[in-house]
Amino acid sequence: MSSATLSKYDPFARLLHWLIVVLLVAQYVVAWTMPDIHRGTQPVGLITWHLELGTAIIAIMIVRIVWRFIRREPDVVEATPFMRQVAWLTHILLYVLLFVEPVLGWINASSRGWSVTLFGAIPLPPLSATGSALGHEMGDVHQVVAWALLGLVGLHVAAALFHHFFLRDGVLRRMA
Ligand code: HEM
Ligand code: HEM
């Protein structure tokens, strides 16, 4: 398949992709600027933003995962079987971490006794009991997975730019 005829992802898939990019960039900026969270910290200000952005990411990822199963797949890109598997694995891991990471944060927030909402309006159920030791530990896991997700995103963006500037094979335009 030549680069000129490579089909694009459908418009809804592209919208969801770039919406998550914007929300995720905002989420890291908020996560690194919000006040340190200790025992007894109240979820106000930037911390509220962190929770709201995070639950919005979960909601959009659920739509995105469903869409991935029902949409028409774009054409297969010409690549070695190994490269194809690396790309497939990176995409699947991105999907998994983009869902698991905010859920870990939610579990930790529940263990702090914080009420978590969607879009600031829809109350979500607690995922752990207040004071739960497991919920506490999930806060540490949440911080580690945040770095893993960031590393994976870095690899993904580097690959997209490599396709565009070195391979010049039209892969970047499939999502643009
Ligand atoms: C993809 C979405 C998310 C990303 C990338 C993310 C990222 C992060 C990062 C990087 C930190 C560490 C901040 C620091 O260094 O001080 C953090 C902490 C935290 N996040 Fe998230 N977060 C996400 C979603 C959520 C959600 C949905 C919730 C809750 C509803 C949440 C609750 C928390 C809490 C409570 C902490 C403090 C954890 C602790 O200190 O034990 N996060 N998050
Ligand atoms: C927060 C950052 C990002 C995340 C979480 C992310 C996530 C993803 C995921 C999960 C896919 C697989 C799509 C699917 O099969 O449904 C994908 C595809 C793609 N992304 Fe990203 N992406 C990010 C940033 C970017 C950026 C900055 C670029 C461009 C420089 C980019 C370019 C692409 C391209 C070209 C594809 C399609 C690859 C193909 O043709 O198979 N992404 N992205």
CATH code of residue 32: 1.20.950
DSSP label at residue 9: P
Does the C-beta of 105 come closer than 6 Å to ligand 1? yes
Q: Report whether pLDDT(3) > 70.
A: no
Mean pLDDT, residues 86-98: 97
Q: Report whether pLDDT(92) > 70.
A: yes
Q: What confidence tens digit (pLDDT) does each residue in 15-64 have?
A: 999 999 999 999 999 999 999 999 999 999 999 999 999 999 999 999 99
What is the residue range of 170's domain? 3-174
Length of the chain: 176
So what's the pLDDT on residue 1?
Answer: 45
Total structural domains within the chain: 1
Ligand 1 pocket test, pick from 142, 145, 147 with the greatest ligand atom count within 8 Å of Cβ, gives 142
Measured CA angle at 6 (ends 169, 67), to 5 deg: 115
For the chain, where are the E strands, in sequence order?
116-118, 122-124
Helix (H) or strand (E) holding 111: helix 81-111
Q: What confidence tens digit (pLDDT) does each residue in 96-134 have?
A: 999 999 999 999 999 999 999 999 999 999 999 999 999
Structure tokens belonging to residue 151: 């590393």
CB-based burial, 35-49: b 16+ in 10 Å, e otherwise: eebeeeeebeeebbb
Q: Report whether pLDDT(136) > 90.
A: yes
